[in-house]
Amino acid sequence: MRLSSFFYLAGFGIKTILFHKKDPILGTVILTDKCNLKCKHCSVNNLTAIVHPYAQIKEEMNTLYSMGVRILFFCGGETFLWKSEKKTLRDLVKEAKEMGFLIVNVVTNGTFPINLPEADLILLSLDGDRERHNLIRGDTYDTIMKNVEGATKDNICFYMAINQINKGAIEHVCRKAKELKNVRAVSFNFHTPYPDTRQLALSKEEKQACVDVICRMMKEGVPVFNLKSAFPYLVENKFPTPCHQCLVIEDGKISTCGRCIEVEGLCEECGYFFVAEYTLLFQGKLSIVFDMLKTYLKYI
């Protein structure tokens, strides 16, 4: 991260904590909900299968920027399926950087060749070892590994959503993240139980067992892009929700925190680590502040 970006974000954090502000800093543009996969834990793919046109996406980027967002995520559906008016996902990343977004990240299922050197981080979903990943995501593990090896930059961060199927495969994903040269880190979420995937949710005891493994992996030097100090809050599901500093825009509609805000009662069972990390940070929890500084400076 550039020093100027660091000072900008630090200034935002200090103002938010001191004056209890609710201005946004992190925004996500949903490029499409179209997806080439149909993962067992996912409730948001192919609901409309519309690929939103370039002009609309550009306007949405402008809207977020004018609202103060400086950390931008492109998400889906599958982001690599996005194409419009001869523009590709890579063009969007470059344009976001030119517009002044300080950090630009992309979330992908990794099944397409990866050539996004301008992205700060590519969050690439890997949901376990070959067997468990493929059980969740179809026969994609080997393709993903090939694409990771062939990526044009070491800006990949594995992204694992831990659920009943893959809770025993955390160590595998950690070891792969450490071993592969194009992978900078691994980041986790717990399954967020939408009404149609409740059976995949983890109990408090199971979440505790998962963070025990993650902590052990961190001790062994695995690069984990999460805040250890937020783990107890995640296990107990005792963190403030929603995250007011995070916005999502999909087809012109802006939601605070996530599209999932509309699912009744879901926030109380939220498994997204970023929500705990950001809300606790902006509450001014000192351990989280220091952990965040250390982690972000290391991986971005």
Ligand X SMILES: C[S@@+](CC[C@H](N)C(=O)[O-])C[C@H]1O[C@@H](n2cnc3c(N)ncnc32)[C@H](O)[C@@H]1O
**Interface positions with ligand SF4 (CB under 6 A):** 35, 37-39, 42, 44-45, 76-78, 109, 192, 241-243, 257-258, 260-261, 266-267, 270, 272, 275
Q: Which does 180 bind (CB under 5 to 8 A by kind): ligand SF4, ligand X, none?
A: none
Structure tokens at 15: 């103002």
Q: Which helix (H) or strand (E) holds 24?
A: none
| Strand blocks (E) in the chain | 26-30, 71-75, 83-84, 87-88, 103-108, 121-125, 156-162, 183-190, 246-250, 253-256
Tell me: cis bond preceding 242? Omega within 30 of 0 counts. yes
Pick from ligand X, ligand SF4, none: which does 245 bind, CB < 5 to 8 A by kind?
Answer: none
Cα–Cα distance, 244 to 258 (Å, whole number): 10
Question: x/- contact string, 29-68, with ligand X (CB under 6 A)?
Answer: ------x-----xx-x------------------------
- State the nearest-atom distance from the C-beta of 264 to ligand SF4, in Å: 11
- Site for ligand X, residues 83 to 112, rule: CB under 6 A: 107-109
**Is residue 192 near ligand X by the rule CB under 6 A?**
yes
Helices (H), 159-272: 170-179, 204-219, 231-236
In angstroms, give the least distance from the CB of 293 to ligand X: 25
CB–CB of 200/191 below 8 Å? yes
By the rule CB under 6 A, 245 interacts with ligand X: no
In whole angstroms, give the CA distance from residue 181 to residue 244: 36
The nearer residue to ligand X, 202 or 289, going by C-beta atoms, is 202
The residues of the shown chain that bind ligand X, judged by CB under 6 A, are 35, 41-42, 44, 75-76, 78, 107-109, 125, 159, 161, 189, 191-192, 194, 197, 271
